[in-house]
Amino acid sequence: MEATNTCADCAVRDSALCASLNDGELMALNALGRRRKLARGEVLAWAGDDSLICGNLISGVLKLTASTPDGREQIVGLAYPADFVGRPYAGQAEFTVTAVSEAELCLFPRAPFERVLEDHARMERLLLQRTFAALDEARARMLALARLSAAEKVTGFLLDMADRATGCRAMPPGPVTFDLPLTRGEMAEVLGMTIETVSRQLTRLKSKGAITLAGARGITIRDRELLRGRD
Amino acid sequence: MEATNTCADCAVRDSALCASLNDGELMALNALGRRRKLARGEVLAWAGDDSLICGNLISGVLKLTASTPDGREQIVGLAYPADFVGRPYAGQAEFTVTAVSEAELCLFPRAPFERVLEDHARMERLLLQRTFAALDEARARMLALARLSAAEKVTGFLLDMADRATGCRAMPPGPVTFDLPLTRGEMAEVLGMTIETVSRQLTRLKSKGAITLAGARGITIRDRELLRGRD
DNA sequence: CGAGTATTTGAACAACGTCAATCCTGGTGG
DNA sequence: CCACCAGGATTGACGTTGTTCAAATACTCG
């Protein structure tokens, strides 16, 4: 049943970091890696633990969370399929990594993975570029967390999710329907607000006619302009 | 007067990225770089412009700011001497870089600098590690922006500045005096609040006896425990 | 010394959080 | 197939924090 553990039929072979390797090189990496499935809510790594593994997300969604000593939490990053997870060259993990949905990863022990990086400049460069992109995204989120109103945060989030759901292509002008990968609570954790405020904003957008809600996860963006509208 | 433009007597020769190069390699880089002085408030690069240069900060402090279309601003990063500034492998700059004090940089045109990176894996690895560190810091700041109270933000900021002022060494237990490199307005921009709230928090800490203010910039941290205290 | 700017202070207000109750929904077992 | 249950989501009333607007005061630099 588990004959699918080779890179050849990996769903993210061409979009993950591995895209920088030819088939031969991939063999070597394959020997290092092992698949791991996570259930929803399962933790891959705890903040403060030694940073022993890293890898590529194959399917599902992960969240990276930071927390204060007294337990307040904030989601500081989300990982989607083909994203790299982990922190080479680091002693300890700074953030907790948790599966938001059922997820599958291809994991490598950190030390040998670093050696692979050292031998494959192209891969290391790709990782550098991804890290730059993650940094830019984190900084853009800092602006949002600090300066946007609750309404702006929620609409921005919905538009981001819609972009992702439609494959990040130029968006069709018509309505878009998709499932949110996060609960209300997780949305609140991403946006730096409370679950109640998220819920109220969604209700407001619904009664304005900008969106439709279907169950806890389903959402349709009806009118992009209305959604963006200031009032 | 400007005979000091060589790497040999560069103040950050051993702490910037250049530390990964030997003297010979440094020669080649030196041919590429040019010094630039910025006055307080001067802008090095605007968000949205083509990302044409990058370099090392030699002296002074820079701020990276993001802003909303309607003009709200947030400082998403600060750069100190020996920090790398700029974004190799990027099309456009995402953030505006401005001098917060008089500053001096060693700048490289991006394209040739990328070629140097490609030829010097050690330097590229160092840049990757710095970028990881910057990412971790940005994410930690996301937690602070989203979840800390105004009081916690200000005390945290003061303690960070004190650490930096004392050279990031284990802090002596006694009072620490130093000059803040930022105005109240810039502190507010960093912490995601208004100038008035920053000022009120400082006044509160002063009347509590935790700090002393001297002029607009001078500050003494009198009692670390009192400063951290919840009330 | 004095103009211009930064900072402090005050009062009123709005946005968002908190607490608490209720509703929905998706899954489970009879 | 339906009733029930538990966790998630919504809604409401109210309190708090931090913003806004406005004015006074203190610095800094020429």
Domain containing A187 — which CATH number? 1.10.10.10
* Domain stops at, among B77, B99, B133: B133
Residues A26 and A120 in one domain: yes
Q: Which nucleotides of D are covered by protein (CB under 7 A)?
A: 8-13, 17-22, 27-28
Residues of chain A contacting residue B66, judged by C-beta atoms under 8 Å apart = 139-140, 142-143
Does A142 fall in a domain? no
DSSP A71: S
Q: Which of B70, B102, B133 is where one domain is finished?
A: B133
Q: Over 70: is that where the pLDDT of A203 sits?
A: yes
> Is residue B208 situated within a structural domain?
yes
Q: Is the pLDDT of residue B194 over 70?
A: yes
Clarify whether residues B127 and B152 are in a common domain.
Answer: no
Query: B104 and B15 in one domain?
Result: yes
- If asked whether residues A128 and A33 sit together in one domain, one would say yes
C-alpha distances out from residue A51 to A85, A92, A104, A128, A130, Å: 11, 5, 19, 18, 19
Is A138 among the domain residues?
no
Domain CATH number, residue A125: 2.60.120.10
**Chain-centre distance for alpha carbon B33:** 21
> In this structure, are A51 and A112 located in the same domain?
yes
Show residues of chain B in contact with A129, CB under 8 Å.
Answer: 89
Q: How far is B1 from chain A (nearest CA, A)?
A: 38
Q: Which domain holds residue B35?
A: 2-133
pLDDT digits (tens, 9 = 90+) for A19-56: 999 988 898 899 999 999 999 999 999 999 999 999 99
pLDDT band at residue A1 using 50, 70 and 90 as cut-offs = very low
Q: Do A96 and A161 belong together in one domain?
A: no
User: Does residue B143 sit within a domain?
Assistant: no
**Whether B152 and B129 share a structural domain:** no
Query: Residue A141: inside a domain, yes or no?
Result: no
- Do B108 and B173 fall into the same domain? no
In a domain, residue B141? The reply is: no
- Nucleotide minimizing C1' to CA distance for residue A203: D10
Q: How far is CA B94 from CA A133, B68, B141, in A?
A: 10, 12, 18
How far: B149 CA to C11 C1' (Å)? 22
pLDDT at A3 over 90: no
Q: Do B135 and A140 touch (CB under 8 A)?
A: no
Residue of B nearest to A191 (CA): B146
Closest to A88 measured CA to CA, from B17, B127, B132: B132
Do B121 and B173 share a domain, yes or no?
no
Based on the fold, state whether residues B209 and B110 are members of the same structural domain: no
- A136: chain B residues, CB-CB within 8 Å: 87, 94-95
10 Å CB burial of residue A43 (0-12, 13-18, 19+) is middle
Whole-prediction pTM: 0.96
Tally of domains within chain A: 2
pLDDT digits (tens, 9 = 90+) for B27-36: 889 999 999 9
* Helical packing angle, A150-165 and A195-208, nearest 10°: 70
Q: Which of A74, A131, A143 sits opposite B128 (nearest CB)?
A: A131
Radius of gyration (Cα) for chain B, nearest Å?
A: 19
- A218 min Cα distance to partner chain B (Å): 27
